[in-house]
Amino acid sequence: MIIHIGASSKMNLTSTQAAAYLDAVRPMVADLVDRNVFVLLPFTSIWVARERLAGSNVRWGAQDVHSQDAGAHTGDISAPMLADLGCTYVEVGHHERRRDYGETDELVAAKVEAVQRSGMTAIVCVGERRKVAMDEVVGELHRQLRLLGSADFRRLIVAYEPAWAIGVGANSAPPTYVGAVHDTIRAQLVEMRAEGRDVPIIYGGSVTMKHASALLAQPGVDGLFVGRMALDPAVFSAIAHTHVERDWSRGG
C-alpha cells in the first residue's frame, strides 16, 4: 500500500499566500514517487492549487463540502464545484466541524456520498473526543464508522484524529497507541466488507518531524495528515520525505 502524506492549512493561507506556499512546496517534494502527497486548502485558495500544482505530483482538495449537489444553501460549496476545480480529495467530519457546527455521523456519511458521487475521494475523520479507556475508543469509532457501509471503499481514506491530540499545545498520540487504534479501525472496516482491508488509514494529530518516523513504522499506519506544522513548506517536505523502516510490499 502506498504511503499517503497530506496537509490541511485549515483557515490559513489567503489565495496570495497559497500561491507562494505552493510554489515553495512543489519543487521540494517533486522527487517523491513512492508516496502520495496532497494539500487541502480553504475554498478561496483551491483555484490557486489548480494553477500552481497542475502537472505536478502534488494533488489538492478541500476541507469540507455540502451534502447536496446544488440548491438554496447560501454560502455553501458543493462537490461538483470542487470537482470542477480539479480536487482529488475532500476532508469531511473533522473534529472541529463536529464541535463547532454540531455535525453528526449521519451528516458526515451524507457528505462522503456527495464527494464520491462527483468522482473524488473522501477523507473521513474519526477519533475519540477525550482520553478514555480503549474499549470506549473502540465504541466511539464504531459509531462514527458504522454509516460508511454503503460508501465506495475505493474512494475512501480514513483519518484517525483523536481530538485530544489536535490543536496548539497538544501532543501527538503515542505511536504504539496509534498503531493499536488503526488495527481496530481496520478490523471494523473489514467487518463491513472485505474491501475494507484496502482502505488507507492515516494518522493526524500534532504530527511533527520528531514523531513522523515512529508513526509510519507502525504496521497499521498508511500515512500522515499534517496540520499546523505543514504551514512551513520545509517542515512539510521533511515530513513527506520521512524514511520508513517497513516492508510496504506486503501491505504493511
pLDDT in tens, 137-148: 999 999 999 999
pLDDT in tens, 184-198: 999 999 999 999 999
Catalytic residue among 91, 103, 128, 161: 161
- Name beta bridge partners: 159: 125, 202
Question: Are residues 128 and 163 in contact, defined by beta-carbon separation less than 8 angstroms?
Answer: yes
pTM score over 0.85: yes
For residue 251, what is its C-alpha cell? 501491505
Please state, rounded to an integer, the average pLDDT across all residues of the chain: 95
Q: Is residue 191 among the annotated active site residues? A: no
Torsion of CA 171, 219, 199, 1, to 10 degrees: 120
Which H or E element spans position 134? helix 134-145
Catalytic residue among 4, 66, 94, 182: 94
100: pLDDT strictly greater than 60: yes
Question: Are residues 178 and 139 in contact, defined by beta-carbon separation less than 8 angstroms?
Answer: no
Domain coordinates of the chain in residue numbers? Answer: 3-250
Q: Is residue 103 among the annotated active site residues? A: no
Fold of 3-250: TIM Barrel (3.20.20)
Confidence of residue 54 (pLDDT cuts 50, 70, 90): very high
